């Protein structure tokens, strides 16, 4: 099922077909705040009212022309302006392939630098999402180039990749702000753990590296992005045992998923941040969410039969 939905996520025919169907749009709204900046700001305000921070994502990936990539950066400038004006508590997350990584590393770096300048002016932070493993090296390279210039940028590491232990060790020594997730793409067994138990064990080991006294001494910050109660319990237990201050890490979850747990963590005094995607390009993001969990597919089918 996972492989099927991940294949669907980059099938152009199905993309066109499903994006035209009203029920698919409605079902996607479970995971996407809406198509406009206003919808995103509304969702962020509602989260903030419950003591939850946000990171907003203007949906889109794998653009093929410089004009499209520049427009994607302009869209980020617009949403950052609105974050400043509306005085909401939100970072922004972006994908490098949306800002031109397929066109060229240098072009992409310059495009993202524009977004970082604007984020700096507004006083907020930009997280570079991690995409499929063909992009990992280039994503880390762009992140490191930008980090040398800007303080307000962080990166994502995926626990399913074998290489991630080395990447986390290097990033801890650099004092990076790292979001740790399990990984959402279809990866071959020579690059990623095929078994979930190994991905989970890797997740816990990498969380502990990020929260360790040595990493903190270098200035590292951990954003623990998962809906998995076992991962969350392991992070909480390690933090309590090692007296990790609550302002040195946060939990992150996706919009519309485990809202009960988001609220519980915020109420218990943990920093909680929700990833708020918005925009017209919801199709691949929505397919990755369906790939993660059969229950999400039933949710969509129920919507279909309700008409």
Question: Active-site residues: which are they?
Answer: 129, 179
φ, ψ (nearest 5 deg) of residue 305: -70, -25
Q: Is residue 234 at the binding interface for ligand FDA, with CB under 6 A as the rule?
A: no
Query: Is there a contact between 182 and 201 (Cβ–Cβ < 8 Å)?
Result: no
Q: Which of 125, 226, 277, 290 binds ligand FDA (CB under 6 A)?
A: 226
Q: Is residue 109 at the binding interface for ligand FDA, with CB under 6 A as the rule?
A: no
Q: Is residue 227 at the binding interface for ligand FDA, with CB under 6 A as the rule?
A: yes
Q: Which of 47, 254, 272, 276 binds ligand FDA (CB under 6 A)?
A: 254
Helix (H/G/I), strand (E/B), else coil: 87 = coil
Binding region for ligand FDA (CB under 6 A) out of 109-117, 163-171, 205-213, 222-230 = 222-230
Sequence-separated (6 or more) residues with CB below 8 Å from residue 44 = 54, 56, 83, 86, 88, 89, 90, 276
Q: Is residue 275 at the binding interface for ligand FDA, with CB under 6 A as the rule?
A: yes
Distance (Å, whole) CA 15 – CA 62:
14
Q: Is residue 57 at the binding interface for ligand FDA, with CB under 6 A as the rule?
A: no
* Of residues 153-172, those binding ligand FDA (CB under 6 A): 156, 158
Please, what is the minimum distance in Å from the beta carbon of residue 5 to ligand FDA?
A: 12
Tokens, residue 144: 């490191």
Q: Is residue 144 at the binding interface for ligand FDA, with CB under 6 A as the rule?
A: no
Please, what is the minimum distance in Å from the beta carbon of residue 196 to ligand FDA?
A: 6
- No. of helices (H) and no. of strands (E), the chain: 14, 8
Question: Based on CB atoms, which residue is closest to ligand FDA, 130 or 153?
Answer: 130
Size of the site for ligand FDA (CB under 6 A): 23
Query: Is there a contact between 170 and 136 (Cβ–Cβ < 8 Å)?
Result: no
Question: Based on CB atoms, which residue is closest to ligand FDA, 170 or 298?
Answer: 298
Q: Is residue 187 at the binding interface for ligand FDA, with CB under 6 A as the rule?
A: no
Q: Which of 28, 40, 92, 130 binds ligand FDA (CB under 6 A)?
A: 130
Q: Is residue 183 at the binding interface for ligand FDA, with CB under 6 A as the rule?
A: yes
Distance (Å, whole) CA 183 – CA 203:
10
Q: Is residue 177 at the binding interface for ligand FDA, with CB under 6 A as the rule?
A: no
Distance (Å, whole) CA 224 – CA 211:
10
Question: Based on CB atoms, which residue is closest to ligand FDA, 88 or 156?
Answer: 156
Please, what is the minimum distance in Å from the beta carbon of residue 264 to ligand FDA?
A: 13
Distance (Å, whole) CA 281 – CA 260:
27
Q: Is residue 235 at the binding interface for ligand FDA, with CB under 6 A as the rule?
A: no
Q: Is residue 259 at the binding interface for ligand FDA, with CB under 6 A as the rule?
A: no
Q: Is residue 45 at the binding interface for ligand FDA, with CB under 6 A as the rule?
A: no
Exposure of 253 in the CB half-sphere (CA atoms within 13 A):
23
Helix (H/G/I), strand (E/B), else coil: 161 = strand
Binding region for ligand FDA (CB under 6 A) out of 16-24, 116-124, 164-172, 249-257 = 249-257
Tokens, residue 126: 């930009």
Q: Kindly provide the residue ranges of all beta strands, DSSP E only, lying in the chain, ordered along the sequence.
A: 53-58, 90-94, 126-128, 153-158, 177-181, 221-225, 249-254, 272-278
Strand partners, 156: 179
Q: Is residue 284 at the binding interface for ligand FDA, with CB under 6 A as the rule?
A: no
The distance in angstroms from the start CA to the end CA of the chain is: 24
What is the binding site for ligand FDA (CB under 6 A)?
129-130, 156, 158, 181-185, 225-229, 252-254, 257-258, 275, 292-293, 296
């Amino acid at each position: 099922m996972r492989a099927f939905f991940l294949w669907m996520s980059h099938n152009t025919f199905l993309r066109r077909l499903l994006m035209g169907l009203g029920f698919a749009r409605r079902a996607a709204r479970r995971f996407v705040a809406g198509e406009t900046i206003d919808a995103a700001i509304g969702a962020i305000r509602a989260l903030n009212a419950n003591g939850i921070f946000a990171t907003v994502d203007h949906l889109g990936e794998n653009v093929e022309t410089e004009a499209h990539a520049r427009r994607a950066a302009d869209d980020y400038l617009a949403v950052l302006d609105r974050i400043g004006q509306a005085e909401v508590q939100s970072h922004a997350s972006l994908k490098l392939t949306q800002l031109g990584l397929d066109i060229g590393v240098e072009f992409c770096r310059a495009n993202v630098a524009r977004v970082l300048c604007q984020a700096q002016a507004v006083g907020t932070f930009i997280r570079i999402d991690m995409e499929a493993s063909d992009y990992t090296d280039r994503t880390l390279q762009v992140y490191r180039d930008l980090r040398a210039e800007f303080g307000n940028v962080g990166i994502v590491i995926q626990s399913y990749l074998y290489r991630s232990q080395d990447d986390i060790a290097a990033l801890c020594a650099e004092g990076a702000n790292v979001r740790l997730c399990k990984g959402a793409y279809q990866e071959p067994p020579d690059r990623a753990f095929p078994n979930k138990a190994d991905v989970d064990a890797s997740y816990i080991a990498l969380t502990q590296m990020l929260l360790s006294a040595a990493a903190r001494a270098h200035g590292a910050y951990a954003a623990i992005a998962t809906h998995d109660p076992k991962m969350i319990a392991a992070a909480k237990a390690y933090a309590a045992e090692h007296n990790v201050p609550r302002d040195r890490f946060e939990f992150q979850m996706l919009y519309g998923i485990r809202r009960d747990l988001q609220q519980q963590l915020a109420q218990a005094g943990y920093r909680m941040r929700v990833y708020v995607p918005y925009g017209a390009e919801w199709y691949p993001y929505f397919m990755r969410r369906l790939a993660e969990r059969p229950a999400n597919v039933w949710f969509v089918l129920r919507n279909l039969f309700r008409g």
